[in-house]
Amino acid sequence: MKATLPILALATVLATACADERPDVVTPEGCGSVIVQENVDGRGLVRYDAQNQVYTIRSSVAGTTNGQIVGFVCGALPEAFRQDSLPVSFTGTYTQYTKAVPPDPGLEYYYLSLSRLEAITGE
């Protein structure tokens, strides 16, 4: 019995270590709450996803030749950024996306809650 409690405690810690549910991070309704990763000062392109009728920010996966992260923007994207292929710099939180599986193994789908967004000009 004494060995069972530490094993159960360890199993609980390991089960919750991979998914970070943080109540202090507010995500809009309909967006995931399980934080997958955070992006600080990332770069990407704004794209409109006509099938889901939502704006996304696509960014490259570091260390890959064709890997891309597609962040389905949570909430309304400000009007000034609603331009297809607009290069942006952003900070935000990626949460688990559950509506569809990416059609290509090089794509990763997440909800994206933005905390900072700036257009990149002059490049």
Average pLDDT per 10 consecutive residues for the chain, totaling 123 residues: 44 39 45 90 95 93 91 94 96 94 93 96 74
- What CA–CA distances, in Å, run from 8 to 2, 16, 20, 44, 78? 11, 12, 19, 42, 47
Fold of the CATH domain 21-119: OB fold (Dihydrolipoamide Acetyltransferase, E2P) (2.40.50)
Amino acid at 100: A
Check residue 39 and give its pLDDT.
92
Structural domain spans, the chain: 21-119
**pTM of the predicted model, to two decimals?**
0.74
- By the 10 Å C-beta count (0-12 exposed, 13-18 middle, 19+ buried), 111 is classed as buried
Check residue 106 and give its pLDDT.
92
Locate tokens 């991070």: which residue?
25
SS3 98: coil
Check residue 123 and give its pLDDT.
58
> What is residue 61's DSSP assignment?
P
Q: Are 94 and 112 in contact (CB under 8 A)?
A: yes
Check residue 32 and give its pLDDT.
81
